[in-house]
């Protein structure tokens, strides 16, 4: 009897839990995902509405994903705008940004899933699951229609440089809180204005453009997948006292420059502890890139801070090097901006109005343009 129960438990787990995501590809209204193990894969699908936009969420419980899986697919065709794939809290989630009046059908098989998109109806309908019988023929796997060397679907077009704009935190991670506001919301608003400003001259990719969580290593990976030329992460700080105030900018350094820089990095890294202690040798950046990027990052961090102080008028706290996880994996020059302190209303009030957010965005954008001039 115990053997029978054990067999049933193993069988149920085999068809219920997802395994390691191996690939995600997109081509002409079809999303194909494959897993390492040849198991029955049944995603949980739902639509969440952000503003006027429908986002299809495909969740795989108890899942993992290989580092080769593209974190970001940017296609912007008649069916989708883009696709994010992230791992968070032991779950893999694929976010599909649907165009208006697009319907979807999710099918699952052994070690794979497909999403077929079509037009003509609103996306308020529930997903249609087709769960085929467990197949014994291993040759029935869905063939990827997208070439491997095009997995990111990111085209530079006529613009020379690609910039990653990363609004800090998101989703379950609110970031710092103060005066009734969450850091994740203010960071997203300023970052969105910055991205819109920069798009006049550059290819711009946001690591998130709505309220969902993106793991720290995925943020850097989005930039690396796109061969980005620059990465900027937007944050607001918080202090033990409401008298703490001012603006500061950080660049990546293997060794924190002083106890204060180490403390700020520790606060920002703790949201994703699984990545915060990843050995640097496991990441893509070699030592020669590290030295080159550090000098470039330090230079642009100084210009960004100068511009923000002139535009916003807050206290100048300085430019520091620190071991930020979100910057650690970036192959490009990268900085993290702490605009001000959430628990100091004098700081926070500068970023609560569209005018204040626009001033900050313009100041940062001007510094970036100066760097690429």
Residue 44 in tokens: 């949980």
The set of residues, in sequence order, having a beta carbon less than 8 Å from that of 130 and lying 6+ positions away, is: 105, 106, 107, 108
Residues of the chain with CATH 2.60.40.3500: 19-150
Alpha-carbon distance of 373 to 367, in angstroms, equals: 10
Which of 146, 144, 142, 58 shows the shortest CA–CA distance to 105? 58
Q: Is the pLDDT of residue 155 over 70?
A: no
Alpha-carbon distance of 4 to 329, in angstroms, equals: 47
Three-state SS at 224: helix
Which of 115, 201, 124, 194 shows the shortest CA–CA distance to 156? 201
Q: Given pLDDT bands bounded at 50, 70 and 90, which one contains residue 310?
A: very high
DSSP structure string for 21-52: EEEEEEETTEEEEEESS--B---EEEEEEETT
In CATH, the architecture of 162-372 is: 3-Layer(aba) Sandwich (3.40)
The Cα-based distances of 28 to 71, 117, 146, 216 in angstroms read 19, 9, 10, 30
Q: Is the pLDDT of residue 18 over 70?
A: no
Residues of the chain with CATH 3.40.630.40: 162-372
Class of domain 19-150: mainly beta
Q: pLDDT > 70: what percent of the chain?
A: 74
Tens of pLDDT, residue by residue over 196-250, are 999 999 999 999 998 988 888 889 889 988 899 999 999 999 988 999 999 999 9
Q: Tokens 């100068």 identify what position?
A: 306
> Stretch 14-29: mean pLDDT, rounded?
77
Residue 263 CA, chain-centre distance (Å), reads 23
Residue 241 CA, chain-centre distance (Å), reads 31
Top-confidence residue, 183 or 277: 183
pLDDT of res. 265: 58
Supply the mean pLDDT for the chain.
Answer: 79
DSSP annotation of 264 reads H
Polymer length of the chain? 373
φ, ψ for residue 200 (rounded to 5)?
A: -65, -25
Do residues 98 and 79 lie in contact, with contact meaning Cβ atoms separated by under 8 Å? yes
Within 10 angstroms of residue 142's Cβ, the number of other Cβ atoms is 17
pLDDT of res. 292: 78
What burial letters (b/e) apply to 244-254, b meaning 16+ CB within 10 Å? bbbbbbbbbbe
Q: Given pLDDT bands bounded at 50, 70 and 90, which one contains residue 38?
A: confident
pLDDT of res. 341: 97
Tens of pLDDT, residue by residue over 256-300, are 555 556 565 555 555 554 444 443 334 433 455 677 788 999 999
pLDDT of res. 159: 81
Top-confidence residue, 287 or 62: 62
Residue 34 CA, chain-centre distance (Å), reads 21
The set of residues, in sequence order, having a beta carbon less than 8 Å from that of 259 and lying 6+ positions away, is: none
pLDDT of res. 152: 40
> Stretch 142-168: mean pLDDT, rounded?
58
* Helix 183-198 / helix 354-372 crossing angle, nearest 10 deg: 50
> Stretch 316-338: mean pLDDT, rounded?
91
> What torsion do the CA atoms of 274, 275, 281, 287 make, to the nearest 10 degrees?
-160
Q: Given pLDDT bands bounded at 50, 70 and 90, which one contains residue 323?
A: confident
Q: Kindly list the strands in the beta sheet with 80-88, ordered across the sheet, starting from the edge strand earlier in the chain.
A: 44-50, 53-61, 91-98, 80-88, 72-74
Q: Tokens 């969105």 identify what position?
A: 192
Which of 296, 269, 271, 301 shows the shortest CA–CA distance to 285? 296
pLDDT of res. 110: 86
Paired residues of 129 in beta bridges: 106
> Stretch 327-347: mean pLDDT, rounded?
94
Tens of pLDDT, residue by residue over 346-368, are 999 999 999 999 999 999 999 99
Q: Given pLDDT bands bounded at 50, 70 and 90, which one contains residue 126?
A: very low
Top-confidence residue, 132 or 328: 328
Alpha-carbon distance of 254 to 321, in angstroms, equals: 8
> Stretch 179-206: mean pLDDT, rounded?
96
pTM for the predicted model, two decimal places = 0.69
């Amino acid at each position: 009897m115990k053997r029978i129960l054990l067999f049933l438990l193993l069988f149920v787990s085999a068809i219920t839990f997802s395994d390691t995501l191996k690939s995600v590809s997109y081509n002409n209204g079809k999303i194909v995902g494959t897993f390492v193990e040849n198991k029955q894969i049944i995603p949980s699908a739902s639509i969440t509405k952000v503003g006027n936009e429908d986002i299809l969420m495909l969740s795989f419980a108890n899942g993992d994903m290989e580092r080769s899986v593209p974190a970001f697919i940017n296609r912007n065709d008649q069916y989708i705008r883009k696709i994010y794939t992230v791992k968070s809290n032991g779950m893999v989630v694929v976010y599909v940004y649907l165009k208006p009046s697009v319907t979807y059908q999710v099918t699952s098989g052994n070690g794979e899933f497909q999403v077929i998109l079509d037009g003509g109806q609103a996306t308020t309908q529930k997903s249609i699951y087709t769960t085929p019988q467990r197949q014994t023929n291993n040759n029935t796997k869905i063939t990827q229609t997208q070439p491997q060397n095009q997995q990111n679907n990111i085209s530079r077009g006529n613009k020379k440089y690609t910039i990653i704009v990363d609004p800090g935190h998101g989703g379950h991670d609110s970031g710092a809180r103060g005066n009734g506001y969450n850091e994740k919301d203010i960071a997203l608003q300023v970052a969105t204005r910055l991205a819109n400003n920069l798009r006049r001259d550059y290819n711009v990719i946001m690591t998130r453009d709505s309220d969902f969580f993106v793991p720290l290593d995925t943020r850097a990976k989005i930039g690396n997948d796109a061969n980005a030329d620059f990465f900027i992460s937007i944050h607001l700080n918080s202090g033990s006292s409401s008298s703490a105030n001012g603006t500061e900018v950080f660049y990546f350094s293997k060794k924190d420059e002083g106890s204060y820089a180490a403390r700020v990095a520790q606060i920002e890294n703790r949201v994703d502890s699984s990545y915060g202690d990843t050995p640097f040798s496991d990441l893509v950046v070699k030592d020669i890139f590290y030295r080159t990027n550090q000098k470039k990052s330090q230079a642009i961090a100084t210009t960004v801070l100068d511009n923000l102080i002139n535009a916003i008028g807050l206290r100048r706290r300085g430019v520091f090097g620190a071991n930020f996880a979100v910057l650690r994996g970036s192959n490009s020059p990268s900085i993290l901006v702490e605009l001000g302190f959430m628990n100091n209303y004098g700081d926070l009030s500068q970023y609560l109005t569209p005018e204040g957010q626009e001033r900050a965005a313009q100041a940062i954008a001007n510094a970036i343009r100066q760097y690429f001039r």
